[in-house]
């Protein structure tokens, strides 16, 4: 009964989206306000309908109604309530419903918020948003129905349950963040296409698009960082990023989105690169669809597996359709995308943004190439060939170095043109200071030239970015502000710019951690008896025995106790353990780590079967600087929040005041 | 300060047309550099991707080559042996189809932790190479079990 209502809500939402698309076109063609309003209402209505459908699916999950196939697949009676709720996105069909809910939420928010502001674009915005909704709702309604009854009609006594590896806070929050990021990029695409179709390619659409991109980008960034943290905490291989196709699928649209967030500034400031920005917005959306296709179709072999399903060809068809649709309108409006302004100097702010875009796109192309290579090679040679992490590290490593270098240098450039000599002067001292840092590292015994180069670039750009804050603060202090007031006003008045610099600092701090953990990770594996010790780096670990005890539910826990010394100093004990879900026989290895700013000492037990009370095998990782990756992630997200804040404030401001509030934030100098 | 520079005569005299050729050359150079970077990173870093049956179809050609094989784990073949304090060996067989197992490929991984997900029917991706006896030796860190991102079992009938 509940399932029937849920399915009905999905079906009505689907029909509503179809109607919205049709009414939008009719309203746009006839310029008839009633049709346009009706289209908007139908489009907005999908959100409450999907909210209802999702609530009903959650109800079914909470009731453990295993007559519904999806509920049986992803939940079991003993699962705690919060896991039953989050099982909404624990499988393909529910995940797609949740995806639709978020998409409808974004669409409704965009329609309502932008109704007056971007009214001229609305009929076509509704059309494009509805096209996307029709596809995704169609999948839920006709292909992957989460409300479908269980096959055979016999209701099982209990469900499959959720894999223990996914019972981690990071895994509960990570998928919604990625989904919010992915679906969020639909809105920029919607306004870009609406601008193309309506021919109203003035600055309105780009301003709207930029803000929505920032929101989607924030969530996607969070999703990527949380995914890395989950892998590090749970998977027990001591790493956080493996260049797996599914990871790449979310990283690739992030790259084009990031490129857009930079190049959009040139369009706002100088009305240049209109066509390029259009290309980036469209690409980001299409890459999201491509990414979803890769993730959900199983077409590329990945460590992450989704259930094989029939939606692959449908996705492919939809992707093709949207490419044709987008390309047609770009060609149709090609002349309107031309710009009268050109680059005047290769040493200018706009040129610097252009270089930044080149590098982002280069990383994107290389990563996409590697991800799709199995398909490409099979097409041309008949043999599937894959590339692994060494490929990505070798191709993207140098590109990231250039990117980090630009990050430090670009803010020194001026709009239109700047003097190479002046920039050179400004770079001299930071370059030397960074060299001193490298000298110190050499003195500490670091010899890897690649790591030293990396550390030099990170220190150099870090100093330059900090100097930007100092310069800005001092300029304000000259006007009589106290240092703290000057610093906080600087950011409050230019949130987008200084939020951006905070993001840069976050990236540099992350890069510091990534270089450290990539180049200097050490690991060892050894079996220890009672009282035996093993040394790794400056650490020594002594095995004190294993305690075995029952946990909650059907858990059997084996917990080792090891004491750790660092440079001979006792720094405490660690308790790596394995939890065995005795009913399913599924073990879960839980690392124990000692975290410092310097490094993580990360210990797992190698095989629960061979763990005895007085003997166990351990694998130990020493991950230098890894906590800087997470710290940098925090700074990154904080910076994004700073940058995104004024947009919301400006949006709420009356139309007359809007320009005044936005303009200063764009100001280069 | 920016505004003082852009209105100068010099700024105006820098004609866009004279720049266009430079951009084309610059663009081609950048693309060439990227192509080189990709090609350079590919060399020596590619692996043929084979299923078990595909592997056996061309076994003699594939011996010693860097491969990535995929297959489903046969639960009763899993063995973890601790040889001495610093050496362990993990062994298991994979097949293309668990319900209709054809030939088995024997995987050996030295000093690898026992993956939590290494169980009957799990899908394994293994990077490594086969020796002349047909035993497939996993590279260090080359053993991947499919992560249950969406842990779904096929419906009972299908």
Over residues B91-139, the pLDDT tens digits come to: 999 999 888 888 999 999 999 989 888 888 888 999 999 999 989 999 9
A-B contacts (CB, under 8 Å):
174
- Asked whether the beta carbons of residue B88 and residue A398 sit closer than 8 angstroms, the reply is no
**Per the CB < 8 Å rule, is A304 touching B144?**
no
Q: Region B60-82: what's the mean pLDDT?
A: 92
String of DSSP letters for A90-134: SSHHHHHHHHHHHHHHHHHHHHHHTTTTTGGGHHHHHHHHHHHHH
Average pLDDT, chain A: 89
> Worst-scoring range by mean pLDDT, A78-82, A181-185, A190-194, A503-507?
A78-82
Give the whole-angstrom CA distance, residue A149 versus residue A451.
Answer: 56
Chain B: closest CA distance from residue A244 (Å): 11
Are B148 and B117 spatial neighbours (Cβ–Cβ below 8 Å)? yes
A153 SS3 class: coil
B119 interfaces chain A, CB cutoff of 8 Å = yes
> Please, which residues have CB within 8 angstroms of residue A444's CB and are 6 or more apart in sequence?
none
Residue numbers in B near A152 (CB within 8 A): 156-157
Judge whether B136 and B95 are in contact, CB under 8 Å.
Answer: no
Inform me whether the pLDDT recorded for A660 exceeds 50.
no
Q: How far is A583 from chain B (nearest CA, A)?
A: 14
- Chain A residues with CB under 8 Å of B8 CB are none
Q: Which of A58-72, A180-194, A341-355, B53-67 has the lowest mean pLDDT?
A: A341-355
- Asked whether B126 and B94 are in contact (CB, 8 A), the reply is yes
Q: Which residue of A152, A366, A386 is in closest CB contact with B47?
A: A386
Averaged pLDDT, A147-172: 81
A140-154, A339-353, B67-81: least confidently modelled range:
A339-353
Q: CB burial class (10 A; 0-12, 13-18, 19+) of residue A540?
A: middle
pLDDT digits (tens, 9 = 90+) for B5-47: 343 334 444 444 556 787 788 889 989 999 999 999 999 889 9
Conformation bin of residue A335: beta by default, left when phi > 0, alpha when psi is -120 to 50: alpha
Closest CA to A106 of A220, A259, A215, A255: A215
Nearest CA in chain A to B112: A606
A607 pLDDT more than 90: no
Q: What would the mean pLDDT of A16-25 be, rounded to a whole number?
A: 96
Confirm or reject contact between B9 and chain A (CB < 8 A): no
Search chain A and give the residue with CA nearest B149.
A304
pLDDT of residue A157: 86
Separation in Å, CA of A385 to nearest CA in chain B: 4
Whether residue A312 lies within 8 A of chain B, CB to CB, comes out as no
- Split at pLDDT 50, 70, 90, the class of A657 is very low
Q: Tell whether B100 lies on the interface with A, counting CB pairs under 8 A.
A: no
Prediction pTM value: 0.90
Residue with tokens 């997200």: A637
Q: Which of A247, A277, A245, A246 is nearest to A262 (CA)?
A: A277
Q: Please give the average per-residue pLDDT across A522-537, as a whole number.
A: 94
Nearest-CB residue to B150 (from A306, A525, A604): A306
Q: What is the pLDDT of residue B5?
A: 39
Q: Is A383 on the interface with B (CB under 8 A)?
A: yes
Cβ contact (<8 Å) for B40 and A395?
Answer: yes
What pLDDT, on the 0 to 100 scale, is given for residue A280? 95
Mean pLDDT on A60-89:
90
| Cα distance between residue A187 and residue A166, in whole Å | 30
Residue A347 is predicted with a pLDDT of 81
Q: How far is A290 from chain B (nearest CA, A)?
A: 18
User: Between the CA atoms of A3, A8, A10 and A16, what dihedral angle is there, to the nearest 10 degrees?
Assistant: -170
Quickly tell me which residue has 């502000």 as its tokens: A481
Q: Which of A99, A525, A608 to mutate to test the interface with B (most CBs of B within 10 A)?
A: A525
Percent above pLDDT 90 for chain A? 63
Residues in chain A within 8 Å Cβ distance of B158? 151
In contact, A281 and A188? CB cutoff 8 Å = yes
**pLDDT at position A203 over 90:** no
SS3 category, A607: coil
Residue in A232, A237, A244, A324 with CA at minimum distance from that of residue A282: A324
pLDDT reading at A254 higher than 60: yes
> Coil, strand, or helix at residue A531?
coil
CB B23 within 8 A of CB A366: no
> Closest Cα of chain B to A162: distance in Å?
7
Q: Please say if the pLDDT value at position A481 is more than 60.
A: yes
Residue A493: per-residue pLDDT: 87
The full DSSP string for A206-271 is HHHHHHHHHHHHHHHHHHHHHHHHHHHHHS-SS-S----HHHHHHHHHHHHHHHHHHHHHHHHHH-
pLDDT at A654: 42
Q: Do B46 and A387 touch (CB under 8 A)?
A: yes
Interface of B with A in 29-68 (CB under 8 A): 30, 34, 37-38, 40-42, 45-50, 68
Q: Out of A73-82, A200-209, A533-542, A603-612, give the one with best mean pLDDT.
A: A533-542
Question: CB distance A92–B113 less than 8 Å?
Answer: no
């Amino acid at each position: 009964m509940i399932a029937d209502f849920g399915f009905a809500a999905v079906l009505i939402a689907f029909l509503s989206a179809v109607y919205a698309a049709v009414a939008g076109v009719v309203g746009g063609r006839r310029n008839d306000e009633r049709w346009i309003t009706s289209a908007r209402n139908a489009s907005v209505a999908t959100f409450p309908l999907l909210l209802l459908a999702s609530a009903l699916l959650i109800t079914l999950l909470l009731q453990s109604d295993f007559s519904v196939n999806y509920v049986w697949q992803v939940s079991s009676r003993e699962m705690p309530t919060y896991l039953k709720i989050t099982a909404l996105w624990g499988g393909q069909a529910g995940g797609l419903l949740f995806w639709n809910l978020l998409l409808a939420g974004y669409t409704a928010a965009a329609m309502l918020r932008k109704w007056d502001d971007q009214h001229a674009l609305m009929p076509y915005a509704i059309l494009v948003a509805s096209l996307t909704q029709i596809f995704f709702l169609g999948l839920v309604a006709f292909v992957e129905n989460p409300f479908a009854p269980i096959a055979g009609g016999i209701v099982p006594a209990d469900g499959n349950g959720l894999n223990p590896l996914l019972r981690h806070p990071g895994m509960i929050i990570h998928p919604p963040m990625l989904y919010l990021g992915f679906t969020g990029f639909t809105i920029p695409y919607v306004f870009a296409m609406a601008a193309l179709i309506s021919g109203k390619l003035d600055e309105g659409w780009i301003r709207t698009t930029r803000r929505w991109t920032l929101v989607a980008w924030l969530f996607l960034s969070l999703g990527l960082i949380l995914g890395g943290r989950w892998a590090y905490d749970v998977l027990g291989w001591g790493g956080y990023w493996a260049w797996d196709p599914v990871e790449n699928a979310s990283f690739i649209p992030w790259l084009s989105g990031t490129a857009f967030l930079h190049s959009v500034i040139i369009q706002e400031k100088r009305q240049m690169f209109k066509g390029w920005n259009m290309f980036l917005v469209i690409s980001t959306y299409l890459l999201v669809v491509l990414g979803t296709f890769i993730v959900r179709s199983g077409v590329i072999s990945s460590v992450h597996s989704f259930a094989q399903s029939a939606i692959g060809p449908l996705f492919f068809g939809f992707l093709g359709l949207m490419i044709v649709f987008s390309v047609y309108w770009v060609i149709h409006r090609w002349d309107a995308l031309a710009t009268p302004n050109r680059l005047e100097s290769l040493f200018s702010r706009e040129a610097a943004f252009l270089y930044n875009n080149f590098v982002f796109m280069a990383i994107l192309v290389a990563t996409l190439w590697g991800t799709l290579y199995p398909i490409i090679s099979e097409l041309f040679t008949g043999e599937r060939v894959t590339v692994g992490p060494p490929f990505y590290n070798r191709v993207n490593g140098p590109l990231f170095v250039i990117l980090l270098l630009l990050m430090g240098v670009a803010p020194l450039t001026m709009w239109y043109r700047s003097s190479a000599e002046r920039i050179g002067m400004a770079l001299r001292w930071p370059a030397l200071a960074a060299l001193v840092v490298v000298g110190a590292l050499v003195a500490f015994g670091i010899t890897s030239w690649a790591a030293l180069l990396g550390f030099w670039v990170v220190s150099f750009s870090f100093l330059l970015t900090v100097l930007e804050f100092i310069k800005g603060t001092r300029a304000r202090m000259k006007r009589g502000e106290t240092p703290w007031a000057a610093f906080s006003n600087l950011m409050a008045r230019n949130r987008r710019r200084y939020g951006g610099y905070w993001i840069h600092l976050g990236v540099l701090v992350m890069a510091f951690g990534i270089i450290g953990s990539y180049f200097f990770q050490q690991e060892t594996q050894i079996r220890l008896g009672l009282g035996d010790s093993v040394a790794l780096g400056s650490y020594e670990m002594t095995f004190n025995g294993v305690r075995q005890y029952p946990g909650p539910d059907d858990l059997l826990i084996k917990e080792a106790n090891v004491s750790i010394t660092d440079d001979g100093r006792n720094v405490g004990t660690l308790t790596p353990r394995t939890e065995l879900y005795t009913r399913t026989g599924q073990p879960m290895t839980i690392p124990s780590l000692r975290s410092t700013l310097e490094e993580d000492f990360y210990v797992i037990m190698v095989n629960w079967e061979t763990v005895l009370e007085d003997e166990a095998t351990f694998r130990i990782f020493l991950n230098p600087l890894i906590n800087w990756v997470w710290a940098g992630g925090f700074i990154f997200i904080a910076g994004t929040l700073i940058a995104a804040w004024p947009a919301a404030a400006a949006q709420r401001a009356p139309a007359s005041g809007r320009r005044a509030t936005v303009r200063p934030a764009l100001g280069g100098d | 300060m920016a505004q003082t520079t852009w209105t100068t005569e010099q700024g105006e005299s820098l004609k866009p047309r004279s720049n266009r050729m430079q951009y084309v050359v610059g663009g081609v150079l950048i693309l060439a550099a990227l192509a080189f970077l990709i090609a350079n990173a590919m060399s020596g870093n590619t692996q043929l991707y084979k299923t078990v049956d595909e592997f056996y179809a061309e076994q003699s050609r594939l011996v010693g080559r860097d491969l990535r094989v995929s297959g489903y784990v046969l639960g009763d073949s899993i063995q973890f042996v601790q040889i001495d304090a610093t050496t362990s060996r993990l062994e298991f067989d994979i097949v293309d189809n668990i319900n209709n197992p054809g030939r088995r490929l024997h995987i050996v991984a030295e000093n690898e932790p026992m993956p939590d997900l290494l169980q009957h029917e799990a899908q394994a991706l293994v990077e490594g190479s086969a020796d002349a006896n047909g035993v497939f030796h996993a590279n260090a860190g080359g053993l991947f079990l499919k992560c249950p991102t969406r842990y779904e079992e096929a419906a009972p009938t299908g």
